[in-house]
Amino acid sequence: MALELKQTVKLTQSLVMTPQLQQAIKLLQLSRLELVNTIQQELVENPVLEEALEEEAAPAELAADETEPGEPPAPVETAQSTAPEVETATPSTDDMVGDLDWESYMESKPQTSLARGDDDRPALDANLTPATSLTDHLIWQLGFVELDELEREIALRIVWNLNEDGYLEEDLDAIAGETKTDLATVEKVLARVQELDPVGVAARSLCECLQIQMRVAGVTEPLALRMVAQHLDGLQKHDFRGIARAESVEVSAVAAAAKLIGSFEPRPGRQYADDEPVYITPDIFVHKLGDEYHVVLNEDGMPKLRVSAAYRDVLANKDGSGKQTREYVREKLRSAIWLIKSIHQRQRTIVRVMESIIRFQREFFDKGPEHLRPLNLRDVADDIGMHESTVSRVTTNKYAQTPHGVFELKFFFNSSIRTSDGDGIASESVKEKILQIIKAEDARNPLSDQRIAEMLSDASIQIARRTVTKYREALRILSSTRRKQIG
């Protein structure tokens, strides 16, 4: 068989991931805060972009086109033409610049639908004094305690070795060795530190922490003191009957002592934790007007972009700029227009996805979380004619303000749990039903996971006990033995 070389011509189609296309996909999956940061970074790096400071009409050429997110936006054309739908081709520089309507982009015409308020000052909470840490609070108190130089050094080492819950993690022998003193002196200083606020701080165990608080509170109940010293494990497991047998007392007495012990703080450093609350700003507001739900984008604080008019003369060569300068400006202009179009397409896609979710989850919006129905990404993708991966990117780190609260868009997509009549019910609805069942139970005789599974089965929801346990733990609800209350 002879071997030979041949040249052939073959025509194929392929999707090329250009930098512009990658940027469009990236913008689609950014959260609201990340999008604002990205826009601010582009404003710094691209001199052609600028932020409009006043509310102005959006140019007609930025009207939403029908391109699918993840595909490059259509090239910007003159106001007299219509932006065609683009499949995968990347517009050339001449396409995006040569036919540009300069009156729209350079004479006070901003990017559509992204607005900022007149007041650009930082929010009030950004100017508040930072919260005091546990370490700072204790060091401040040590300033009022009479200690010599060595004792103050020991006290500071104790404070520096407290964890976020206020417990001492360092061994006293190690502190004594570091300060070149004896163990008795360290224990003496530790007792002084344990007198500081919050009560129970610098304890080495939960038992010691509770004992300090009970001593300061003047608790003299012998059973409560013995339970803390000897039966903490049974107390945490709510094994009141076992403790009653061990102490030869009535279960009601154990329950009363447990209630007293439960009034103390097991984590004295909790109120000084460094964890800052995370505030969620919704990307979408869903309002009900009459019988219809309307989707409104949250544009508060979003920069409104436009192309700077200062570069018009540069491209028109009216200021004597060289070819290299014009090429640089033309490249930046293309990048700016692509960013503006990509942001607009991103906003429009979020609205379309949310409108589709409303159509599928209408009962949720009308009646609440218990009526959430099973839904997957493909259902929404088929409904709005987009790819499943596009819907996945749109629903990542996006939040919607609904009549029932703020929810991540991923919340509306649930797996299906079979019912006895052959239909399906959303897993989040089952969680809500479990929560309502536990809220309505008798605290002195809480329902087991098996009993909850049987009650759901009576309601035509086929679910295993282990699934009830998984959902209960996801809801951060204790087991029936730990929920039980006596007396």
Cα 329 to Cα 1: distance, rounded to the nearest angstrom = 59
**Which of 75-89, 243-257, 308-322, 383-397 shows the lowest mean pLDDT across its residues?**
75-89
Cα 223 off chain centre by = 45
| Average pLDDT value for the chain | 79
C-alpha 349/C-alpha 381 separation (Å) is 11
Long-range contacts of 148-152 (CB under 8 A, 24+ apart): 150/179, 150/181, 150/185, 151/185, 151/188, 151/189, 151/192
List the domains of the chain with CATH numbers: 19-78+89-115+306-344 (no CATH), 134-272 (1.10.10.1330), 416-483 (1.10.10.60)
pLDDT over 70 at 128, yes or no: no
pLDDT band at residue 100 under the 50/70/90 scheme:
very low
> In 155-174, which positions are buried (b, 16+ CB within 10 angstroms) versus exposed (e)?
bbbbbeebeebbbbeeebee
What is the structure's pLDDT at 54?
A: 55
The model's pLDDT over 246-287, given as tens digits with 9 standing for 90+, comes to 999 998 898 889 889 989 999 998 888 766 667 788 889 999
DSSP helix/strand/coil, 428: helix
Structure tokens at 255: 């329950």
In angstroms, the CA 146 to CA 143 distance is 8
What gap in Å lies between CA 71 and CA 89, rounded to an integer?
A: 9
| Mean pLDDT confidence for 390-400 | 89
- CB burial of residue 412 (10 Å; 0-12, 13-18, 19+): buried
Amino acid letter, 32: R
Mean pLDDT (whole number) for 110-137: 59
* Residue type (1 letter), 27: L
> What CA–CA distance (Å, rounded) separates 246 from 225?
14
Burial of 113 (0-12, 13-18, 19+ CB in 10 A): middle
Work out the pLDDT band at 150, boundaries 50, 70, 90: very high
Least reliable range by pLDDT among 86-90, 244-248, 396-400, 433-437? 86-90
8-state DSSP, 249: -
- For residue 218, the model assigns a pLDDT of 92
Asked whether the predicted pLDDT for residue 302 surpasses 80, the reply is yes
- 427-439 vs 465-474: helix crossing angle, rounded to 10: 80
In DSSP terms, which residues pair with 209 in a beta bridge?
none
Mean pLDDT of 86-93: 39
Above 60 in pLDDT, residue 64? Answer: no
